[in-house]
Structure 1
Amino acid sequence: MRTMTATEASRRFSDLLDAIEHGETITITRGHRPVAEIGPARRRTGADLRAALADIAPPDDRFEADVAAARDLLVTDEGDPWADA
């Protein structure tokens, strides 16, 4: 793992991102103390989403009605603000 100062990281940010993109993890220091580790982003998949939602109960039967009621509260005298969305 490579180490660089915050100043060096700032000045060579593009190079820093290139190294990270190629799989490196970089430790950033400030005043000779590590303050951050920057590494490649983890790729997310449908399996990750399923795992994240596994312990969350599905919406109940009232969900659609609750959303419609909340949406109705947003309608102004000028009309539906979501009509063009």
Structure 2
Amino acid sequence: MTATEASRNFSDLLDAIEHGETVTITRGNHPVAEIGPARRRTGADLRAALAGIPEPDDRFADDIAAAVALLESQHGDPWADA
């Protein structure tokens, strides 16, 4: 599908994608993008993405604490409205 067709028929494009199609968008007969259904993200996806990454060290925890303290000193409790 050309970029112009995609623009003019965006709702139809989204319908096709919602039904599982992956659509290639072209410009000047060259593919520039593939648009497909969004994949639901799960906790298992996050665990897989983080597998093999070392746990944060004490310095990381200290850096986070310092950043939170800085925010609190400038703007009050950053988590109060959460």
TM range (shorter): 0.7 to 0.9
Which of these residues, 44, 53, 57, is aligned with residue 56 of structure 1? 53
Specify every segment of 5 or more residues in structure 2 that has no aligned partner in the other structure, as ranges.
Answer: none
Counterparts of residues 30-49 of structure 1 (less than 5 Å): 30-49=27-46
Greater share of helix residues, 1 or 2? 2
Post-superposition offset of 1:63: 4.4
| Paired-residue identity, % | 74
Name the amino acid aligned to 2:11.
S
The match for 2:25 is 28
Q: RMSD over aligned Cα, in angstroms?
A: 2.1
Q: 1:69 to 1:19 in 2, by over 3 A?
A: same
Specify every segment of 5 or more residues in structure 1 that has no aligned partner in the other structure, as ranges.
Answer: none
Which of these residues, 58, 61, 65, is aligned with residue 68 of structure 1? 65
Distance in 2, Cα, partners of 1:83 & 1:27: 43
Q: How high is the TM-score relative to the length of structure 1? A: 0.74
Distance in 2, Cα, partners of 1:83 & 1:16: 40
Please tell me whether residue 84 in structure 1 is matched to residue 80 in structure 2: yes
Larger Rg: 1
Name the amino acid aligned to 1:66.
D
Q: Tell me the matched-pair count.
A: 80
